Amino acid sequence: MNRRRRVYEGKAKILYEGPEPGTLVQHFKDDATAFNAKKKDVIDGKGVLNNRICEFIFENLNAIGVPTHFVRRLNMREQLIREVEIVPLEVIVRNVAAGTLSERLGLDEGTQLPRSIIEFCYKNDELNDPLVSEEHITAFGWAAPQEIDDIMALAIRVNDFLSGLFLGVGIRLIDFKLEFGRLYENEMVRIVVADEISPDSCRLWDIGSDEKLDKDRFRRDLGGLLEAYTEVARRLGIMSENEPVATARGPVLVQ
Ligand code: 5GP
CA 78 – ligand 1 centroid, Å = 22
Task: Look over the chain and give the mean of its residue pLDDT values, rounded to a whole number.
Answer: 94
Q: Which amino acid residue places its CA nearest to atom 15 of ligand 1?
A: 177
What is the phi/psi pair of residue 186, to 5°? 50, 55
CA 16 – ligand 1 centroid, Å = 24
The mean pLDDT value for 149-153 works out to 98
The dihedral built from the CA positions of residue 214, 126, 101 and 93, taken in this order, carries a sign that is negative
CA–CA dist 27, 49 (Å, integer): 12
CA distances from 96 to 122, 164, 175, 220, 254 (A): 22, 15, 7, 18, 44
CA–CA dist 86, 66 (Å, integer): 17
Q: Best mutation site among 177, 195, 205, 212 for ligand 1, i.e. most ligand atoms within 8 A of its Cβ?
A: 177
Ligand 1 pocket, residue 13 CB under 6 Å: no
What is the SS3 assignment for 175?
Answer: strand
pLDDT of residue 239: 81
Q: Where does the pLDDT of residue 3 fall: very low under 50, low under 70, confident under 90, or very high at 90 and above?
A: confident
The residue among 46, 49, 24, 22 whose CA lies nearest residue 34 is 46
Ligand 1 pocket, residue 55 CB under 6 Å: no
CA 188 – ligand 1 centroid, Å = 31
CA–CA dist 6, 25 (Å, integer): 9
pLDDT of residue 195: 98
The mean pLDDT value for 33-46 works out to 95
CA 123 – ligand 1 centroid, Å = 12
Is the confidence at residue 246, as pLDDT, over 60? Answer: no
The mean pLDDT value for 181-201 works out to 97
CA-36 nearest atom, ligand 1: 19
The percent of residues in the chain predicted with pLDDT above 90, rounded, is 91
Ligand 1 pocket, residue 218 CB under 6 Å: no
pLDDT of residue 2: 65
Which domains does the chain possess?
A: 6-84+226-235 (3.30.200.20), 85-206 (3.30.470.20)
CA–CA dist 110, 131 (Å, integer): 21
Q: Where does the pLDDT of residue 176 fall: very low under 50, low under 70, confident under 90, or very high at 90 and above?
A: very high
CA 25 – ligand 1 centroid, Å = 23
Ligand 1 pocket, residue 215 CB under 6 Å: yes
CA 175 – ligand 1 centroid, Å = 8
pLDDT digit string, tens, across residues 196-239: 999 999 999 999 999 999 999 999 999 999 999 999 999 999 98
The percent of residues in the chain predicted with pLDDT above 70, rounded, is 93
pLDDT of residue 151: 99
What is the phi/psi pair of residue 238, to 5°? -80, -35
